[in-house]
């Protein structure tokens, strides 16, 4: 093997490694079910609508405004409407567009949402404010000091 061949092989392996990392970790990270990004006190969650809701379970905190950004990735009639009965929301979702649904959940609990025909179903879980779930487990957790 010449030096050039070794360099090319190493670069190739590096490229493959990057692609694997990108698909395995980078992509899944942005698709974590129920991932909530809080911007200016508004809890934002992206939901893809395609034969169902992804994620189909959304966890937010009570007493803080929620903005659900529904991207409807299909034209199927079934998903053209999303209904949150508990919050008095009935929203049309134009195909291939992102539509925001906003409200402030005041009481902790579980609030189902659905399409206009009651076929596609999702669940909004409202947790008590201040009961913050850790984004990642504490690094100190594995160190038991007795
Ligand atoms: Cu439907």
Alpha helices in the chain (DSSP H): 3-21, 27-30
CA of 112 to the centre of ligand 1 (A): 14
pLDDT > 90 in the chain, percent: 61
CA of 42 to the centre of ligand 1 (A): 28
Q: What is the pLDDT of residues 3-20, one digit of tens each?
A: 777 666 776 666 655 555
How far apart are alpha carbons 101 and 66 in whole angstroms?
A: 8
Instruction: Indicate the SS3 state at residue 38.
Output: strand
Residues in the chain: 146
CA of 79 to the centre of ligand 1 (A): 5
The mean pLDDT value for 38-62 works out to 96
Q: What is the pLDDT of residues 116-126, one digit of tens each?
A: 999 999 999 99
CB count, 10 Å around CB of 129? Answer: 13
How far apart are alpha carbons 128 and 137 in whole angstroms?
A: 20
pLDDT at residue 3, as a whole number: 72
Nearest to 53 by CA among 36, 78, 29: 78
Is this prediction's pTM over 0.95? no
Sorted by sequence, the CB contacts under 8 Å of residue 91 that are 6+ apart come out as: 70, 81, 82, 83, 99, 101
Q: Pick the more confident residue, 133 or 27.
A: 133
């Amino acid at each position: 093997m010449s030096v050039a061949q070794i360099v090319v092989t190493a670069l190739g392996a590096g490229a493959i490694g990057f692609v694997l990392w990108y698909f395995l970790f980078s992509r899944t990270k942005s698709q974590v079910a129920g991932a909530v990004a809080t911007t200016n006190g508004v809890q934002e969650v992206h939901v893809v609508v395609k034969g169902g809701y992804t994620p189909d379970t959304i966890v937010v905190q009570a007493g803080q405004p929620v903005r659900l950004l529904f991207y409807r990735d299909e034209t199927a009639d079934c998903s053209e409407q999303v209904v949150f009965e508990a919050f008095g929301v009935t929203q049309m979702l134009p195909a291939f567009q992102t539509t925001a649904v906003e409200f402030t959940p005041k009481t902790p609990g579980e609030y189902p949402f659905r399409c206009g025909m009651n076929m596609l179903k999702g669940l909004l879980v409202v947790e008590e404010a201040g009961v913050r779930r850790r984004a990642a487990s504490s690094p100190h957790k594995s160190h038991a000091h007795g």
